[in-house]
Amino acid sequence: DIQMTQSPSSLSVSVGDRVTITCRATLRIGTYLSWYQQKPGKAPNLLIYAASTLQSGVPSRFSGSGSGTDFTLTITSLQPEDVATYFCQQSYIVPWTFGQGTKVEIK
């Protein structure tokens, strides 16, 4: 299986700060990488697919980049409603696998 490793596991930031989350795959996956946001008690919500394509309806402060094994999710100016856990997922090889998650909190 392809292992997806996210860092950091958690971070505490101020409103308006820039947030960067990284995801590393154990095998090259091209751009078969998605990012999800999950709020407590809710299902994950797709933010980014194909590494850098913003899903319809997602605010433009979210962006994704990377290819191969290293990927980044960036929130340019954190808003209170962005408090959540963020997951990456590869869809290059079955079984599709997720990162362990990054919990974002407000300082």
Which stretches of the chain bind another protein, using CB under 8 A?
1, 34, 36, 42-46, 49, 55, 87, 89, 91, 94-98, 100-101
User: Which single residue is written with the structure tokens 């996210």?
Assistant: 6
User: Which single residue is written with the structure tokens 């899903």?
Assistant: 55
Nearer to another protein, 19 or 34 (CB): 34
Nearer to another protein, 43 or 81 (CB): 43
- Least distance between another protein and beta carbon 16 (Å): 29
d(CA 11, CA 58): 22
d(CA 65, CA 94): 22
